[in-house]
Amino acid sequence: MLSKSALRQISGISKTYLMRPLMLCALLILGIGCAIFCFSSRSLRFRDSYSTPFDQNASDTFHDAQAFVRWSEDGTVHPEITAIDFTRMGSAIRTKPNDLGPRQAEVLPFGDLEQTLAQFPNLAKVQFDRDQLTQVAPTTLAALTSLRAISVLDVKVTAAHIAALSQVPSLEWISLQTIDLPASLEPLSTLPNLSSVCISNGPLSMSNGPMASPYRPETLVELNALPSLRELILRPQYLPGLGYFAGSKTPDPACDPVLKENCREVFADSQTLQRLWLGSNQSDAERNQLAVVAKTLPHVRVRPATYDSRKVLESRMAGGILMFATMVIMLQLTSQFSGPSAQLIPRFAPVHLGFFAAFITIATCAYALAISGRDLSLLPALATFASCVAVVAILHAMWSVVGMTGRQYAYWLPALIVVCVMYHPIAMNFAPPWWSAILDQFLMGVHPVVAMLLLATAALVLAGCLLLFSWQHRFWAEHAIAPAMTVGDLGARMSSLAWNRRDDRKSAAQIGRWNRRLQDTLAQPRATHRWIARMWRLGNSPAYIGAIMIIVAITFSFGSFFRVNGASAMDHMMVHHSVLMLLALPMLLIAMQCSGRRDTLARDILYPVARERWIGSVFLAVWTQLGSLLALAFIIANLQIGFLMQVPTPSHVLRGLVAAGALSVLGTGVILSVTLHRGIAWAIALGLVGLISTICVTMIIVDTGLGPSGAAAESVRQALHHPAVLPGIWIVAGVIFSLAYRQWQRTEFACV
Amino acid sequence: MNNDIIRTSGLRKHFGKNEVLRGVDLAIPRGAVVGLLGSNGAGKSTLIKCLLGLLKISAGTATLMGEDPWNLSAHTKSRIGYVPQVVHLYPWMKVRQVIEYTGAFYANWDHAWCRELLDQWDLDGAAWIRNLSTGQLQRLGLILGMGHRPDLYLLDEPAASLDPSGRRSLLRSLLEITEDREHSILFSTHITSDLERIASHVAIMGNGVIDYFGELDELKDSVKRIRVHSPVDLPPDFSVPGALRTEINGDSAIVAVAAVNDEVIDGIRDRWDASVDVEDLNLEDIFLELHDAQ
Amino acid sequence: MSLPPQLFRVATSSGVPIFRQIMDQVRALIACGDLAAGEMLPSTRELARELEVNMMTVSKAYSRLEADGVVERVRGLGMRVVEIRDTRSATERKRDFQELVAPALHRARQLGLSDDQILSVVKKALKDSSHEQ
């Protein structure tokens, strides 16, 4: 079915895509995403905003269970070990086979814990798993003179733990990860060097007994009494109902507002406390309370213990969409549907770039606003908007500048920046603490300042780029904004044109004239203001812009139909919106591009190609473009689903793939049919068909339904799993495709 | 049949209720330079577009180089050059780029000739398409249609937007093309002075039909204006066989006659005993006489 | 060798077909002596280029002239003016000339010239033309 020339055409079109540096960036990002995907099958957890001694250099923390057991048996001394992490040894040890009963297998290695630690004289940090601390002989602990930091992860921290801890005079850092702390912390005041205490959530217990909250006021008072405490981290995990287990009628101290209130009272008179990491700042209320605490403790730096994960998510989503959008712009610039023997693919489209940059910016900002829900107040919303615009502008300008230098590897620079934007939560794990402090500052809500800074930087960068090339020939500078071409490219092109004409005298005269013109331009004073405006104006008619606005508004306001119930529903909403945009954008852009070629169809058909073959190649080219963009969108969508919800199963992915394939066929039919019709009514009708199918395909890819209530959503989802749905979509796609094909076969192109 | 490069028979085309072509019969031999003359709205553009397959024929038949216009083969299309009345190009390209882009489609594109034409017609290769004037666009359209040296040229009002020097340059180029008599040209125009020099045949079109098709010289030889002076007042039933238009002023009359020969003249002399002066008409006058006669 | 094509002029907007104009001009050039017997006419291509008309028109003119016997085709070289050999009787030829003379005499009478003056003018003209030849 596919002839040799058709294969050549497909390979030509695909090569155009793959040769673009943008595609290489996209592949890089996908590679990173997939790599992360492979190593972890859970949703990502965001890093805590504070740093502990246990964060750094996880590589030299000793956690080899089998080696530990061996050493504990043979008693060798290991001065090179400075950090041990028992929490990571647990599972390895449990899988060790032995002829005693399973319970004994658990206990066996740790029976030696009493003296074993003495084999590591330089031990500085140790992280204990359940019950282990109490098994270590106090003298052993006291003998470890370098021991600075201890972390205890246990269901219940008893007086035995505290007593053990208080035996270590060199201790500077204590981390208690538990939800039940009945013991008094008073013995810890004997430790002269204890400067940091961290209390965070621990494992759940199965017991029915009452629990003592580690955050109750008495504990806080005891913490306040510690003589040299400089840094305190309180990171509760609020589990409603736990307080009731204790039979208490008072509100659970781990509840965020209660905790903040208590801290405010207790630490108001603290002499030594310098840094306090307290609770969370997920909502405005929480942020306000934290601010109140900060005001009450003027000498203490008060920060939340967790990141505002939603904001981080927002920026990551925006970054992802941005990246995709930039990708699509570049693809649009380098592609068109062309006849079978066209060799030249025009790359000069500054006007198109301007238009689509504006569109993508608006869409991105609308999207960022949409996913943040409607509880943003106006000023932060504008700030978000501004920062999105600024980020888009910066990235585009950087891309242009970098691209123009022509250095082969410089194209990675903007991509790396976007990668950082997208993946910085992961990167936080490896970042130094001062960076997290800065980011914390950003996320505390000083959006407007940062946004203004970003905008100013963007403007400066843009101006710099434009001025940088103002001395160049105007022709070069205007083309430089189309990032697909570098200065070197351009120069080579100009000189090759000149080279081709070297033979006749006329050409030599023309080359001379061109050189002279170039010299004149270089010599003349810069008249940059005119062409700066020209390069960034929107070239397309208001009708197109209006249509885009309407579509964006519809997509944006879709969310108001659906009520959000809980965090997981929010995730679903975000993913839905995101995938919808990812699928709709390529179709929209290719439609724009095709309708731009409407007027030249009458020329195209008169090129030396038979009518049938030409129509076939048009459909093939559009389908190839749409298909590759949708494939990219599909991959990104599944990555997002994996991060935010759960890893999709193979059958889920397969269904999504089949649906996306149908969408590409349907999209081709819709786009090419609309290209021929000038009537608005037809375009709207087909557009609705396209939109509805895109929504259905989105729901299939994300595999959740949407509806006014949870039950309705679930029923929609079940309906989509009906075996007739996928074939149905393919049938609709096929029908529309063949209708469009027949329409093209019958059209009189002089009337288009 | 073999020698006719374009042949139509009873060609009809209607747009909805509006019938534009009402039975066009045409047979253009190879090597002819045919001027398609007609007033605005006569259907000249429609005819050319039907011949190229840009419009679908409602009734009748047509062949272009022996093929059905709706399904022209790639080889035939490479031998045809079409220059439309309004040239649509991408505004963001430059002149040189458009020429190279178009040239990439044809195997035998003559780049040297295009450069010559650019110089000759005073077009700047580095100008943006969106900045070109109508005349410059028309000239560019001509280059794009002619660059592959086709055997058949179909030009739709090629000189309409050109200034006199542009028109002269165009005629010169077309004359160069037709020197070897292998190339055929069909161009539509309503400016008759273009035709006089270059056309070998003329097709006069009115109301969707071809009123006259034949050699230009024959047309000029046969359509003449006759002044008749008689000693007495001419009767109101004065008529001349084959007259297109008769104007009687007392004892003299002016008659436009379609087919003049000695017989007709002698007949007038004898019958009305009048003196006869035969006046030559140029193409514009002929066209007006034929047109007014409708 | 051949006649320069610049000697020809055509008016495209006149009612006379261009090929007929060319024919008439060739005949006129022969009549006034600018084109002598044995001289070559400009080639079709040259003349067409100079006049900016269709080459077919020029070749049609030349073919008609050839058919009328005014010029003859020389293979490889072009068109050559034919030697004019008038085969009519002396009486007929004299009558031809008489027709030409009549209007000149009429004009001379209007100028008030006497017969002797007329004759002296004619004699002088004859002497001049024989000198030229």
Instruction: Report pLDDT digits (tens) over A207-243.
Output: 667 778 888 888 899 999 998 999 999 988 766 655 5
Among chain C residues, the shortest Cα distance to B173 is held by C52
Domain that residue B265 falls in:
223-292
Q: Read off the pLDDT of residues A32-81 as tens digits, 9 standing for 90 and up.
A: 544 443 333 233 333 456 777 776 555 567 777 777 878 877 888 888 88
Q: Tell which phi-psi region holds residue B66, choosing left (phi > 0), alpha (psi between -120 and 50) or beta.
A: left
Distance CA B286, CA B260 (A): 13
Residues of A in contact with B105 (CB under 8 A): 339, 341-342, 607-609
Cα B102–Cα B108–Cα B109 angle in degrees, nearest 5:
40
Other chains touching A, judged by 3 or more CB pairs under 8 Å? B
Distance CA A126, CA A149 (A): 6
Q: How many independent structural domains does chain B possess?
A: 2
Q: Which amino acid is present at A138?
A: P
- pLDDT-based confidence at residue A11 (cuts at 50, 70, 90): low
Pair C48, C68 in one domain: yes
Which residue of B87, B90, B110 is the best one to mutate when testing the A interface, meaning the one whose CB has the most A CBs within 10 A? Answer: B90
Average confidence score pLDDT of chain C: 83
Q: Read off the pLDDT of residues C68-96 as tens digits, 9 standing for 90 and up.
A: 888 888 888 888 888 766 666 778 778 87
Q: Has residue A614 been placed in a domain?
A: yes
Out of B187, B217, B247, a domain closes at B217
At A509, which helix (H) or strand (E)? Answer: helix A505-523
B-facing residues of A in 487-516 (CB < 8 A) are: 497, 501, 504, 506-507
Distance CA A219, CA A645 (A): 37
Domain that residue C67 falls in:
5-81
Q: Read off the pLDDT of residues A387-423 as tens digits, 9 standing for 90 and up.
A: 544 554 555 555 545 544 444 455 455 555 545 554 5
Higher-confidence residue of A148 and A329: namely A148
Pair B102, B237 in one domain: no
Distance CA A688, CA A680 (A): 12
Quote the distance between the C-alpha of residue A213 and its chain's center. Answer: 36
Which residue of B167, B179, B260, B279 is the best one to mutate when testing the C interface, meaning the one whose CB has the most C CBs within 10 A? Answer: B179
Cross-chain residue pair C52–B175, CB shorter than 8 Å? yes
Distances from the Cα of B145 to the Cαs of A158, A421, B76, B141, in angstroms?
94, 52, 14, 6
Taken as a whole, chain A contains a residue count of 752
At B267, which helix (H) or strand (E)? Answer: helix B262-272
Q: Which of B202, B194, B154, B160 is nearest to B47 (CA)?
A: B154
Q: How many independent structural domains does chain A possess?
A: 1
Pair C69, C108 in one domain: no
Give me the half-sphere count of Cα atoms (radius 13 Å) on the Cβ side of residue A540.
Answer: 22
Give yes or no for a contact between A316 and A575, defined as CB atoms under 8 angstroms apart: no
Distance CA A556, CA A549 (A): 10
- For residue A631 the two structure tokens come to 């494939």
Domain that residue A582 falls in:
540-752
Out of B217, B251, B274, a domain closes at B217
pLDDT exceeds 90 at position B63: yes
Q: Read off the pLDDT of residues A442-472 as tens digits, 9 standing for 90 and up.
A: 444 444 555 555 556 655 655 555 554 444 3
Residue B83 has a pLDDT of 93
Cross-chain residue pair B92–A351, CB shorter than 8 Å? yes
Pair B93, B153 in one domain: yes
Pair B248, B190 in one domain: no
Higher-confidence residue of A298 and B64: namely B64
pTM for this model (two decimals): 0.56
Pair B83, B113 in one domain: yes
Residues of B in contact with C60 (CB under 8 A): 217
Q: What ipTM was assigned to the predicted interfaces of this complex? A: 0.84
- For residue A498 the two structure tokens come to 């000149």
What proportion of chain B, given as a percentage, has pLDDT over 90?
A: 27
Residue B175 has a pLDDT of 87
Crossing angle of helices A680-702/A611-644, nearest 10°? Answer: 40
Burial class (CB in 10 A: 0-12, 13-18, 19+), A80: exposed
Q: How many Å lie between the alpha carbon of C46 and the closest alpha carbon of chain B?
A: 11
Q: Is B10 helix (H, G, I), strand (E, B) or coil?
A: strand
Q: Read off the pLDDT of residues A528-543 as tens digits, 9 standing for 90 and up.
A: 333 322 222 222 333 3
Residues of A in contact with B124 (CB under 8 A): none
Pair C102, C55 in one domain: no
Average confidence score pLDDT of chain B: 85
Give yes or no for a contact between B94 and B129, defined as CB atoms under 8 angstroms apart: yes
Residues of B in contact with A607 (CB under 8 A): 77, 105-106
What contacts A406, CB < 8 A, 6 or more positions away?
Answer: A486, A487, A488, A489
Pair B185, B229 in one domain: no
Distance CA A580, CA A559 (A): 12
Biggest CA pair distance of chain C:
55
- For residue A289 the two structure tokens come to 């309370």
Pair C43, C68 in one domain: yes
Cross-chain residue pair B217–C17, CB shorter than 8 Å? yes
Pairing type for strands C78-81 and C71-74 reads: antiparallel
pLDDT exceeds 60 at position A370: no
Out of B217, B239, B274, a domain closes at B217
Distance CA B109, CA A732 (A): 44
Which residue of B175, B176, B183, B283 is the best one to mutate when testing the C interface, meaning the one whose CB has the most C CBs within 10 A? Answer: B175
Residue A131 has a pLDDT of 74
- DSSP states along B151-181: SEEEEESTTTT--HHHHHHHHHHHHHHHTTS
Cross-chain residue pair B217–C53, CB shorter than 8 Å? no
Q: Read off the pLDDT of residues A634-686 as tens digits, 9 standing for 90 and up.
A: 877 787 777 666 677 888 889 999 999 999 999 999 989 988 876 667 777 88
Q: How many independent structural domains does chain C possess?
A: 2
Across the range B247-266, mean pLDDT stands at 79
Q: Is B103 helix (H, G, I), strand (E, B) or coil?
A: helix
- For residue A451 the two structure tokens come to 């946004």
Pair C26, C57 in one domain: yes
Q: Read off the pLDDT of residues A552-570 as tens digits, 9 standing for 90 and up.
A: 544 444 443 343 444 555 6
Pair B249, B186 in one domain: no
Residue A22 has a pLDDT of 44
- Chains A and C contact (Cβ–Cβ under 8 Å for 3 or more pairs): no
Quote the distance between the C-alpha of residue A32 and its chain's center. Answer: 12
Q: Name the residue among C14, C16, C53 with its Cβ closest to that of B197.
A: C53
B-facing residues of C in 40-99 (CB < 8 A) are: 45, 48-49, 52-57, 60
Q: Has residue A673 been placed in a domain?
A: yes
Distance CA A435, CA A51 (A): 11
Q: Read off the pLDDT of residues B81-113 as tens digits, 9 standing for 90 and up.
A: 999 988 888 776 789 888 888 887 787 888 899
Give yes or no for a contact between B91 and B128, defined as CB atoms under 8 angstroms apart: yes
B-facing residues of A in 591-610 (CB < 8 A) are: 599-600, 602-603, 605-610
Across the range A11-40, mean pLDDT stands at 44
Residue B144 has a pLDDT of 92
Q: Read off the pLDDT of residues A479-504 as tens digits, 9 standing for 90 and up.
A: 333 333 334 444 444 455 444 444 45
Q: Which of A351, A381, A376, A354 is nearest to A366 (CA)?
A: A381
Q: Which residues pair with B252 in a beta bridge?
A: B229, B249
Pair B63, B187 in one domain: yes
CATH number of residue B184's parent domain? 3.40.50.300
